[in-house]
Structure 1
Amino acid sequence: MSENNKIAKELVEAVGGKENIASVAHCATRLRIMVVDKDKIDQPKVESVDKVKGAFYNSGQYQVIFGTGTVNRIYEEVTKLGLESSTKDELKKEAGKSGNWFQRAIRTFGDVFVPIIPALVATGLFMGVRGLVMQEQILGLFGLSPADISDNFLLFTEILTDTAFIFLPALVAWSTFRVFGGNPIIGLVLGLMLVSPALPNAWAVAGGDVTPIMFMGFIPVVGYQGSVLPAFIAGIVGAKLEKWIRKRVPEALDLILTPFLTLLIMSTLALFVIGPIFHSLEEVILNVTVSVLSWPLGLSGLLIGALNQVIVVTGVHHVFNLLEIQLLERFGNNPYNAIITCSVAAQGGAALAVGLKTKSKKLKALALPSSFSAFLGITEPAIFGVNLRYMKPFIMGLIGGGAGGFLASIFGLKASGMAITVIPGTLLFLNGQILLYILVNLVAIAVAFVLTWMFGYSDKQLEQTNEA
């Protein structure tokens, strides 16, 4: 019997046996298990299984953290035991039926926006690289000045940095149709209609150079470049309308009538009803966000930095994707990222303190890699595998996140993108802020590390949980 086969058998037994497992899938780091009865899960036994870095029940799934590479091998051994496998999307669909309406709504929100994030990450990195190469000190190394940079080169960089935001409604409508069961291509076309060059450009209207088209004398109609909510709501309504129409038209006419009627009705609703209403709501949300981030004396950084990882534990953090997208679209920067990176780094600092202080080889082998994972921007192994298990390290991590966030707010740090933090996040601060970015992260790590070392952990806690 191989080591991984033994781990798979012990895990299945700890989860309640084969009869308690409906299906199993995996993502990059976690084994995702749909269980029949979550009360049959023996949590301490699961956490004692070799190579398990943490386990928790969330989003209708029991998720066991193994880490990149290892999870693939464990998944293979689990499926060899005769358990039903499923794709991650199928598992999500099944899990989506569980939980209260708020939990389901948040999961759906995440399913829509998470696939879009890689494009926005790339855009943010392009902004960071442009900010770096356009600095006088950098150009000076090659005997150049900003005046020597050609207009054609600047135009090329604008293509890299602006395209995703210009066509953001198309990306959002495409993803929303996909999640809500509509034809994603119809969603894509509907989103493109919202940014049609035939409409007054939203940015030109905001700058006062162009006036909106007034429909019926009082409804302002503009393009929705960079907007999110109008496309999101139009995508939900459009997907449901498409399915409703498809059920009622003859099969022979489905190919013609369904997309025709869907686009005709939805383009009218999106431009004249949904767009104006939800664009106004979007403005309110953005103004509130900017107001909070502008609180004096670093209060916003202190609170957000301290509470961010609590929100991550609840699983509703995807809601803030909307805010980050709007900040980037409107201002070209993202102060929210500069704060939350401190909360991520601090959890890594707390886990690092546990790993260096404990004499338990098993806990050391879990905590040290988990802390490094957090420094790469992924806190789940550190939070669920170490810090939350003993609680005090998690709290010390929250304090460290608040300290770093406070400084980030005081210094006015602003990222050029979103979704990457700590070490990878340095690429978003190449516009002259890199030293301050490193400083706030080091402060967050140091505060969490020192507090955890002094007050947050001792091996007595390990003995009390019988894990030594």
Structure 2
Amino acid sequence: MHNDPASTATAVLHRVGGPANVVSVAHCMTRLRLTLADPAAVDEEGLRALPGVLGVVSDGPTRQVVLGPGVVDEVTAEVEARVAAAGRPEPAATRPGERTTPVRTAVRRVANVFVPLIPALIGCGILSGVNGLLLNTGLLPALTPALSAIAAAFLALIAVFVGHNTAKEFGGTPVLGGAVAAVVVYPGVAKVTAFGTHLAPGQGGVLGALAAALLATRVEKWVRGRVPDALDVLLTPTVTVLVSGLVTLYGLMYTAGAVATAVGTAANWLLATAGAAAGLLLGGLFLPLVMLGLHQALIPVHTTLIEQQGYTVLLPLLAMAGAGQVGAALAVYVRLRHDASLPTLSLRTTIRSALPAGLLGVGEPLIYGVSLPLGRPFLTACAGGAAGGAFVGFFAMLGTKVGATAIGPSGWALFPLLTGNRGAGAAVAVYGGGLLTGYLVGFLATYVFGFPRRPRVGAPA
């Protein structure tokens, strides 16, 4: 694996058609996301074969290059510097012949809005957990008000950041998107009556902010195309904020609030009445979603639940997929312990290096380096995730909900963020039991069913 981010950046850019072929650069916790002007210029096989590249997800003009946590930040910085020096080409979306589904395009764009917010959600979520621990134990009472303010401030104003990123992603002026979205959380909206009731600050949450900023972007483009250039600087921002702000107050906040309430009600109902089945389904299907990059579509749902209830009950269920993956990888390692062939020794080395990340909830190294190339272990890993999800969901049916105060981490890294309706202790116990169940079922399913015949390492079994 390349230890030099500069070398990795150079190699990746060479295989995607060079810096001049890159329209935009972004990254999440593990993936470098490149939007390309000409996807046909990509050397797919060469890109996948690069040392340090754990996998590649192709989605129309976008390539998601899986590099792993930590490494991706450094490589992204190097890629951004080279792309900036090369200049910006014509956006891929304007070129003919691109093939991508509307659903995947929408998921990618929503991810571009919310993924940059994850580091702040993680940091504030951990501080919130620490503050709760201090409050419960009575320690450092002089510090808890400050910690509470620091932990809660970002979430209280997250609508502004969502609005800013939405306008930026959809071609509007970011600050105008943020200005209109700020209406959602402004305390003065309590004096506004819509649909016969007073609005509440924050009503509609991130969904309202997203809708408000999308509207602002459309209004801005419409106005800018119709006013004289001499008046653009005065009229465009004024009309954009006025029209979008009024529609937000007298329509979007109420509607988005109803949708957000429905999301929370549906999640609670699902876990209370069919928690085991829901956990089985969510835990079992999450690895394929991660593999395709579609898991980012759930970020607005998680964020809405955190805004409403203080935690998302879905993330602990989905995190069980990583447990199944770890169990499956361990079974592969054990089953191949007597095979001294070079490909097997290389695979066992990959498992040893990827397991720590897997235990901390970063599943891509094990997905692309181990289970997916072997074929059947990927399916048995999904079975382990389904079992862990069913375990956590079963306890939800019994009245013990497990939630995460932030999104991003999973595996062992999620423990500091756990809470629930019966306190952090019960949440930690149930979540830990789910992880053990996922490890065990993933291991046993892979050990027994993952190798019906001697596998060919590097190819589907």
For normalisation by structure 1, the TM-score amounts to: 0.78
Structure 1 residues 58 and 446, CA gap change in structure 2 (3 angstroms): farther
Distance across 2 between alignment mates of 1:195 and 1:160: 17
Question: For residues 77 and 163 of structure 1, what CA distance do their matches in structure 2 show?
Answer: 32
**What pairs up with 1:276-355 in 2 under 5 angstroms?**
276-296=254-274, 298-355=276-333
Task: Name the counterpart of 1:262.
Answer: 240
- Name the counterpart of 1:273: 251
Q: 2:442 aligns with which of 444, 448, 453?
A: 448
Q: Aligned equivalents of 1:48 and 1:337: distance in 2?
A: 32
CA contact (8 A) 1:311 1:317 kept: yes
Q: Percent identity?
A: 25
Within-5 A mapping of 1:175-214: 175-200=165-190, 213-214=192-193
Give the structure 2 partner of residue 460 of structure 1: 454
AA paired with 2:177? G
Provide the rounded CA distance (Å) in 1 between the counterparts of 2:271 and 2:147. 29
Structure 2 counterpart of 1:165, from 155, 160, 181:
155
Q: Which residue pairs with 1:420 in the alignment? A: 409
Which structure 2 residues correspond to residues 392-411 of structure 1 after superposition, within 5 A?
392-411=376-395
User: Is 2:306–2:405's contact at 8 Å kept on the other side of the alignment?
Assistant: yes
Decide which of 429, 438, 446 is 2:432's aligned counterpart: 438
Shift of 1:234: 0.9
Deviation string for 1:303-347 (max 9, x for gaps)?
Answer: 211122222223221221122112212221222122112112221
Aligned residue number for residue 118 of structure 2: 117
Q: Which residue identity is paired with 2:309?
A: F
1:132 shift after superposition: 2.4
Shift of 1:68: 5.8
User: What is the root-mean-square deviation in Å for CA atoms of aligned residues?
Assistant: 4.1
Kept in 1: contact 2:17–2:41 (CA 8 A): no
Q: Which structure: larger Rg?
A: 1
TM-score, normalising length: structure 2: 0.80
Residue type at the aligned position of 1:322: P
Describe the superposition over 1:240-275 as per-residue Cα deviations: whole angstroms up to 9, x where unpaired: 211222233333332222211111111111101222
Structure 2 stretches lacking a partner, 5+ long: none
Residue equivalent to 1:388: 372
- Deviation per CA, 1:391-431: give whole Å up to 9, x if none: 21111111111111122223332223222111211111372
Q: 2:159·2:205 contact (CA, 8 Å) conserved in 1?
A: yes
Change (3 A) 1:417 1:245: same
Contact 2:203 2:253 (C-alpha < 8 Å) held by counterparts: no
Work out whether residues 390 and 461 of structure 1, in 8 Å CA contact, stay in contact via their aligned partners in 2: yes
Task: Give how far 1:171 is off.
Answer: 1.9
Gaps in structure 1 of 5+ consecutive residues: 140-145, 201-211
Evaluate the alpha carbon distance shift between residue 428 and residue 78 of structure 1 in structure 2; reply closer, same or farther with a 3 A threshold. closer
3-state SS of paired residue (1:453): helix
Q: Which amino acid aligns with 1:167?
A: L
Contact persistence 2:68–2:364 (CA under 8 A): no
Moved more, 383-392 or 258-267: 383-392
Q: 1:372 to 1:35 in 2, by over 3 A?
A: farther
Asked if structure 2 preserves the Cα contact closer than 8 Å seen for 1:345 and 1:445, the reply is yes
Structure 2 Cα separation of the partners of residues 449 and 314 of structure 1: 24
- Using the TM superposition, give the Cα deviation of residue 111 of structure 1 relative to its aligned residue in structure 2, in angstroms: 0.8
**1:372 corresponding residue in structure 2:** 356
Superposed CA deviations along residues 202-230 of structure 1, whole A, max 9, x for unmatched, are xxxxxxxxxx7434x74653322571211
The verdict on how the C-alpha distance between 1:75 and 1:460 changes in structure 2, with shifts beyond 3 A counting, is: farther
Aligned residue in 2 for 1:155: 145
- Whole-Å Cα distance in 2 between the matches of residues 77 and 122 of structure 1? 25
